[in-house]
Amino acid sequence: MARGIGLGAPLSKIAVSKAHGEDSPYFAGWKAYDEDPYDPVANPTGVIQMGLAENQVSFDLLEDYLEQHPETASWSSGISGFKENALFQDYHGLQSFRKAMASFMEQIRGKRVKFNPDRMVLTAGATAANELLTFILADPGDAVLVPTPYYPGFDRDLQWRTGVKIFPVHCHSSNGFQLTLHSLQSAYSIAEASNLRVKALLITNPSNPLGTTMPRSLLEDILNFISQKNIHLISDEIYSGSVFSSPEFISVAEVVETRQHKNCDGVHIVYSLSKDLGLPGFRVGTIYSYNDRVVTTARRMSSFSLVSSQTQKMLASMLSDEEFTVKYIKTNRERLRRRHGYIVEGLKDAGIECLEGNAGLFCWMNLTQMLEEKSMEGELRLWKMILSEVKLNVSPGSSCYCAEPGWFRVCFANMTEETLEVALRRTKVFVEKIKGRKTNVIFRS
Amino acid sequence: MRIIVPLQGIVQGRGGLILGSLIPCALLYFLQFYLKRNRSSPPPHSPSESSANLPELAEIPRSTSRSTLSTRGSLRPVPVSSRAIAISKSRDSAYYTGLKKSLEDPYHPTYNPDGIIQLGLAENQLSLDIIGDWITANLQKSLLGEMRGDLNIRGLATYEPFDGLWDLKVAMAGFMSQIMGGSVSFNPAQIILTAGATPAVEALSFCLADPGNAFLVPSPYYPGFDRDIKLRTGVELIPVQCRSSNKFNLSIAALEREYKQAKKRGIKVRAVLFTNPSNPVGGLMHRETLYDLLNFVTEKNLHLISDEVYAGSIYGTEEFVSIAELLDTEDFDKNRVHIIYGLSKDLSLPGFRVGVIYSYNENVIAAASKLARFCAISLPTQCLLVSMLSDTKFIEEYIKANRERLGKMYALFTEGLKQLDIECCKSSGGFYCWADMSKFLQSYGVKGELELWENILNVAKVNITPGSSCHCIEPGWFRCCFTTLTESDIPLVMKRFSKVLKGHKAS
């Protein structure tokens, strides 16, 4: 028996805490998929993954580009180019890459704003960007306001290692779950009254899981609010390139520019290539801040999550190729619009309504009528049923901290159209079965 | 190109070596000279591999108290966290200051022959051409194919495992075994891949200690630990002094003493962190010491972190012994042992961001695999490395050639220092030598050491790292990296040193 085995050297609180949030149904559903993944040929009765917000509809555009520009994937300037690149670990990031990212972000916003590459801090994904900003803007025990429903990963990103608390700002179906100035002010007051120091507001625009964009008036209200309370605003715009129908996307950057950059040192934008370009594995994220000190501090802290110099070089040429980016953005949007239309129609046909959305890689489904009990337990029971009987992994609203039970997020861009068709067929059958059960219950009593 | 000068961003085009390097290089220097003369604003940051460690003093206004003042109306600045303030205000050690200065005035044989020669950065440029050749021969088509294959696969597959592709873990386990001499094998399931050893050390620290706890660290130690470990985790580092009389080897008695002292002060020690091969000394830990260490941590119920990033960068006759070897042969509880590794040193790929946490503790593996979400390795880089690391024949050739070149350069450099009457502590690994310049100090202490360091930096125009930046308790020791030089550079470096040392000769 090995020496010294007893209780063993203890681990930290962070290591044993559940604050990473990965025990929620949001992640549990992925496990169910892993164990029994759908395959049209090999496993046609398997679980269809509809809980993963990934964009796989435009891969071919990337493949084509790489095919036509093979130099993208190599070091065309020879060994010296390779050496430079291999040794490059400067936390400023490759200037050519920052320029390319800035120009791509401008392109997405219809060139209505200008991004200064020197204000971009590169991080290995938006996950790292959000955590980094939280470390910089808040101390352990402080709070960040986050409108609900929100992306479950925020629990981990904003709270786990930072010790900061998320304070939810609840939104309701009565107005399409839109954030209001009133709910912000009310949440702020309650937080402060419970001795929580609010340091920032984090919005996701376009919203995950709602799939909607914020109107200009709301953005104006938000900027006034943060200015008045002297707190920071983090605008996570990771889905900005996935707005496929009107209303047009308005970035907080546009409002800042309209205000001629007055009072904007509390505004920070997070972006990434994981959704719009469908490259989550590349780990490319960025913080764009209007605050010099935040830029400087974030840059230093980014040492813990630098983007591979190889990847920076590879993407620099691709993203500064305007012919490619214009075509990509346009085509991607069209395809997402088509997919979205297809799933919304299909769900409608099955008797399910969705919140009207114009962006993102998912729909916000209203299954409130299918709940046996209008509660979180009822919702989770329905979710388990959908997972085990219908073999669809969708995300229950409670895992997104939605204030009202019965809403579910369903992703539509991470599978082929054929698979989506199968999913819709299964859904229709299921809804009819549920309706049937309810009718039977009525008969018996 | 002998000493690599900052050219990133300029040398992106298709020009050959001459066009691609010399002309942009010339332009860069003219630009720098012009700006120096007309400097009213902060100098442009020269993009370079070393500024990852730089303070940004020039860019932010010095009125850092701005953030805490809440003045009237809408113009008051929004406050940042105390962690953010701490970074801005941190007094940067000579280690970072020297790196920064070298960037502002970098040596180039033709365009800036009086510039600062950089010997403060532990980067190995001696064998990158070998890797470059492999890339040229194997990569052009394969990366494209791998990526497309992977892109296609993901059309059906699940989300990425953020702690790294299984194939890369397998290749890495094999590589680690190979580069450490083949005497121990590693299990891919115990590997967490991270974007560099920097986040690996930090993530591991987050798992093993709470804020306010401490690690015991044999000193002198790598200056970067102060930033990497303390900054966000709140964990303290307690130096355990090693002495020249003992060739800077770790003494368990010293470890015991520091442990007791910490206890008296009410500080909870959670782990011992050591680097082997060591930095800045370059020594290899003896098997007996490793054994004693395991005994010590077992007795005190602590974790043991072995940072083995230089494991493959050894020369000379001594063989490297990984802590993993002892766990194979000895009967200790493995759950307290964790290894840090990476490719920034042994494969000279710091830009690609590839690090490893290797743990025997399944709870640590579970937690760290989730933490890897914040610092995952980029997919194209993973694809490239699966190919490269699996080419064991190439790795074998590389290891052999690299060791020869390291050994040769070490011998030449230390011989050069010897001619100047500077002795070095014997090193067997790493990219640097640990030089005793104490006889040249005007006053024996940190002040005297920093004075000498400044003279060497400003007059001799050579950047080396003073021992005080590494928490060395004996003044006068300096770390000199020799792996960015070619043989013909050495006489010039020695000439520069002698310029200053003549004036510093102790009476």
Encode pLDDT of B212-249 as tens digits.
999 999 999 999 999 999 999 999 999 999 999 999 99
Rg of chain B over Cα atoms, rounded to whole angstroms, equals: 23
Does B337 contact chain A (CB < 8 Å)? Answer: no
* Least Cα separation, residue A436 to chain B (angstroms): 34
Distance CA A24, CA A27 (A): 6
pLDDT in the model for residue A4:
54
Task: Say if the Cβ atoms of B51 and A37 lie within 8 Å.
Answer: no
Average pLDDT over residues B378-397: 94
- Residues of chain A neighbouring B135 (CB-CB closer than 8 A): 74-75, 82
pLDDT in the model for residue B65:
35
- Residues of chain A neighbouring B387 (CB-CB closer than 8 A): none
Q: Where are the alpha helices (DSSP H) in A36-156?
A: 59-68, 78-87, 95-108, 126-137, 153-154
Judged by phi (left if over 0) then psi (alpha if -120 to 50, else beta), residue B248 lies in left
Q: Quickly state the pLDDT bin for B453 (edges 50, 70, 90).
A: very high
Distance CA A73, CA B218 (A): 43
pLDDT in the model for residue B346:
97
* B350: nearest CB among A8, A89, A297: A89
- Do the Cβ atoms of A132 and A302 come closer than 8 Å? yes
Distance CA B240, CA B250 (A): 8
Q: Taking 60 as the threshold, does the pLDDT of residue B63 lie above it?
A: no
pLDDT in the model for residue A7:
67
Average pLDDT over residues B400-415: 97
B55 vs A95, residue with greater confidence: A95
Among A338-347, B146-155, B439-448, which stretch is predicted with the lowest mean pLDDT?
B146-155
Q: Quickly state the pLDDT bin for B96 (edges 50, 70, 90).
A: confident
- Do the Cβ atoms of A439 and A431 come closer than 8 Å? no
The answer for residues whose C-beta is within 8 angstroms of residue A430's C-beta and 6 or more apart is A386, A389, A390
Q: How far, rounded to the nearest angstrom, does the alpha carbon of residue B180 sit from its chain's CA centroid? A: 18
Upper half-sphere CA count for residue A227 (Cβ side, 13 Å): 17
Distances, alpha carbon A34 to alpha carbons A23, A43, A49, A52, in Å? 15, 12, 9, 12
Written as one letter, the residue type at A83 is: K
Least Cα distance to B237 among B263, B203, B271 occurs for: B271
Distance CA A259, CA B177 (A): 59
Distance CA B493, CA B409 (A): 13
Q: Quickly state the pLDDT bin for B493 (edges 50, 70, 90).
A: very high
Distance CA A411, CA A57 (A): 12
Does B231 contact chain A (CB < 8 Å)? Answer: yes
- Residues of chain B neighbouring A309 (CB-CB closer than 8 A): 351-353
pLDDT in the model for residue B90:
66
Task: Say if the Cβ atoms of B384 and A82 lie within 8 Å.
Answer: no
* A304: nearest CB among B198, B208, B349: B198
Task: Say if the Cβ atoms of B231 and A7 lie within 8 Å.
Answer: no
Q: Taking 60 as the threshold, does the pLDDT of residue B378 lie above it?
A: yes
Q: Which residue of chain B comes nearest to A82, CA vs CA? A: B132
Q: Taking 90 as the threshold, does the pLDDT of residue B27 lie above it?
A: no
* A308: nearest CB among B123, B125, B378: B378
Q: Taking 70 as the threshold, does the pLDDT of residue B32 lie above it?
A: no
Burial class (CB in 10 A: 0-12, 13-18, 19+), B210: middle
Task: Say if the Cβ atoms of A125 and B47 lie within 8 Å.
Answer: no
Q: What's A157's DSSP letter?
A: I
Least Cα distance to B10 among A80, A310, A92, A300 occurs for: A80
Q: Taking 90 as the threshold, does the pLDDT of residue B45 lie above it?
A: no
Q: Which residue of chain A comes nearest to B144, CA vs CA? A: A73
Task: Say if the Cβ atoms of B144 and A2 lie within 8 Å.
Answer: no
pLDDT in the model for residue A443:
52
pLDDT in the model for residue B170:
97
Catalytic center residues of A: 151, 236, 238, 275
pLDDT in the model for residue B73:
40
Task: Say if the Cβ atoms of A280 and B160 lie within 8 Å.
Answer: yes
The answer for residues whose C-beta is within 8 angstroms of residue B179's C-beta and 6 or more apart is B311, B312, B346, B395, B399
Q: Taking 70 as the threshold, does the pLDDT of residue B152 lie above it?
A: no
Distance CA B118, CA B344 (A): 18
Task: Say if the Cβ atoms of A232 and B49 lie within 8 Å.
Answer: no
Ranges under pLDDT 50 in chain A = 444-445
pLDDT in the model for residue B2:
42
pLDDT in the model for residue B165:
94
Percentage of residues in chain B having pLDDT higher than 90: 72
Q: Quickly state the pLDDT bin for B504 (edges 50, 70, 90).
A: confident
Does A116 contact chain B (CB < 8 Å)? Answer: no
Does A14 contact chain B (CB < 8 Å)? Answer: yes
Angle of CA points A436, A440, A445, to nearest 5°:
155
Task: For residue A229, report the phi and psi dihedrals to the nearest 5 degrees.
Answer: -85, -5
Q: Which A residues 61-100 touch B at CB under 8 Å?
A: 62-63, 66, 70-71, 73-92, 94-96
Upper half-sphere CA count for residue A176 (Cβ side, 13 Å): 14
Q: Taking 70 as the threshold, does the pLDDT of residue B21 lie above it?
A: no
Task: Say if the Cβ atoms of A265 and B270 lie within 8 Å.
Answer: no
- Residues of chain B neighbouring A265 (CB-CB closer than 8 A): 77-78
* Model pTM score: 0.90
